[in-house]
Structure 1
Amino acid sequence: MVDANPTYSLVIVDDDREMRDSLTHLFESVGWQCENYARAELFCEKVRDISPDVILSDVRMPGMDGLALLDYMQTKEDTAPVVLISAHGDIPMAVDAMQKGAYSFLEKPFDPRRLLTVARHAAEQHRMGQDTERLKARLAMLSGLDRILIGQTDEIKILREDVLDYADLDAPAMILGETGTGKEVVARALHDLSVRAKGPFTVLNCATILAEKFESSMFGEIGQVKGMLAASDGGTLFLDEVAACPLAIQAKLLRVIETREFTPIGGDKPVPVDIRIVSASNEDMEAAVAQGRFRSDLLYRLNTLMLNLPTLRERRSDIVMLFSHFLNEYSTVYEISTPELSADDVSALMTHEWPGNVRELRHVAERRILAARRGRGNVGEAIHSNHDVEEVPDTLREAVAAFERELVAKAIRTHKGKMDAVAESLGIGRRTLNEKIVKLGLDKNALL
């Protein structure tokens, strides 16, 4: 019957065959895995391929003795602890062995129970050391992510863990979340933490490219345009607002994912490409499929790995931490002292709905610092500042979307939800209106 204790591995180095057999029998009887070597030199030849928990070695052997083996093992990284045994031991030898880094020194004849206890303790210490090193490496990565994905709520902790796990994979990943939640930030983190980090990270915003220019932008054109696929070779291609990708291109993109090659416009031979595709959307992609705007087979290839970004409303306990971080950041940029947050400031932060999520929070922090440079202002004023200093979208696409959202919402209210009248007043067809309402995330009932 196998007990519930961990299985440890042991390397035995001893020129005495009977002693090797006896030690092997002893340790295997309690569940250890053992390998035997008659000479230390033979073990050293294979040390790169062996990762034992403990090395048990005789001291006096022809050729390389136990003390020389101990010296050799001290030059290796993550070396297993060495326990030395000898029938000729004396106090000076034991002291010398311990000073050179031996875990323990036992003199023959030894008590088998004591040897097993010493070896188990050595193995436990070795395993603990390995776990500690792994934890340190993981924490070092997390501290890097902490500077990007700031927060202590369960949602953001899970997101950081998912990013770390998915970064090591090469499968396509899809990032979903509202505008301003940090989709490109997460995409860059997936790239920067991956083996592709030294390769290019290229961004193609599908919503900002004219349909007639999309194919040349993506695939390139022989002798004229280098496409994004070629520019991303060896790295990561980030397809932002992927739902806006034209249907005609979607079939070709699916083929790129499946074959890992593409054909530029005007070319007659496929070009191999080594890329990881990360996509993002603030839309309901299943709804886009149901409406016939997005291919289901492409969606199920792009969303092999899924990351859902929480809104700021869903992680309210992170708001003050995030805002303080942005205040410190902008205080450094504008070379002023960081203003203290009052109770009213915290109240304003916690009661605002943050429709623009982290991006809006960052802009509010910058406005607060700009006001502080003039010796006035508070967080409430920064949040509700008038239109001449109001948050400006980062891209033309976002500015156009914001304007369209306001225009369509106004028309819906004006015509009391009569969609034919709304479409006519806007000068567009009813189907186009319905598509815009979905794309802009408008809730008709909430507007009326």
Structure 2
Amino acid sequence: MAQNNRVAIVDDEQDMRQSISQWLALSGFATETFGSAEEALKKVGGDYPGVVVSDIRMPGVDGMQFLKRLMGQDSSLPVVMITGHGDVPMAVEAMRLGAFDFLEKPFNPDRLTELVRRASQARKLTLDNRALRRELSDGTVLMRKLIGTSPAMERLREDILDLGQADTHVLIDGETGTGKTLVAHALHAVGPRAGKTFALASCAAHGEEELGQRLFGPTEEGLPLVEEARGGTLVLEDVEALPVALQARLLKFINDQGTPAETRILAICNGSDPEKSCEQTLRQDLYYRLAAMKLTIPPLRQRGEDVLTLFTHYADAFGEEYGAEPPQLAAQEAAQLLQAPWPGNVRQLINLAERAVLQQRRGTGSISSLLMADTQEDGETAPQVVAEGKPLKEYVEAFERMLIDNTMRRHRGSIASVMEELSLPRRTLNEKMAKYGLSRSNYL
């Protein structure tokens, strides 16, 4: 049962709370019952992953006092109040205090189910958004999202930690789909501005007038972004598309701040088209202010066996989402993944992993056919186009590492099971795990 389907039922009348519990359980909710508000408050509070259904008239702490206590801990917690005849004015006051809705006894059980379902959906959205905000302010979580053990990714993580602490403007360059916005989030989260405002605007998504208002004002939607981000971080995606007139305003904003800058700017440049690079499209004085520090995100074709690690990671995630077994790569398929040029980089690989899982669920198609379709769309004739040639030994080692890693995860670190499936003696398996940096403790 999903956590957000939980319902806490609070009523001093045992028959009433049991009948509500039984009805909601038949409707697919996981219920827990409490005979008093005092008892419920021991388990229900901020971040409660569900909905509260409470009677208004109860001895001790009544429903109104209970509601006030809950709203004080988490004002977005959905609370459905149940009222007796003549208690409607009290219920209206409960709505003013933050109750989700109310029902007057005797009520239609279907109406209760519908209310709780809507409240449950609202709660899920609130908790998802809350979790996302926490994640985007947690540098440790974000750094873990930068998956890969290639030298290029090791350097990138080290650079993010260094530049995050440097607290200067940074130009983030890289091809489409490499994860530049994720890197911007990480730079903010590992630096001294973590927890402060992180404002983001796409310079390619708006016309010049609309973008100017969004960045500098006036705007009817609140503060312009340069004011909203004051003291925090302002991220400009596709900064190469910034119109010339707005480049001048941005330069003035930067110059007026002095040193150190009150607002940090992270400028994201799409490096897929060499003829439209930031250095060519931005005025020179602005470019050198934004590129005080520069960070280039490596394309996927330069990340070696990270391709296999990423494919396995996302295939497992989509397999769980769709309730399907993720595809197990054959040696030929692994070689094709390693050799593919990946013009869409990680974003293209994620899409391919999702389609591979859907194919696996239907029992049709192959990863080779998906790669063939991708390369045909890119104007190539075969999926085995080699982006950057590597010795055969490197392909073999990459596949071997992936195979041991997948088998260890599937058997949850059981050395005996892995030895049996791969027909490897214990010493050989230990040597290969040490060679590839695989630790049994990571799979338990």
Q: TM-score, normalised by structure 2?
A: 0.49
Normalised TM-score (structure 1): 0.49
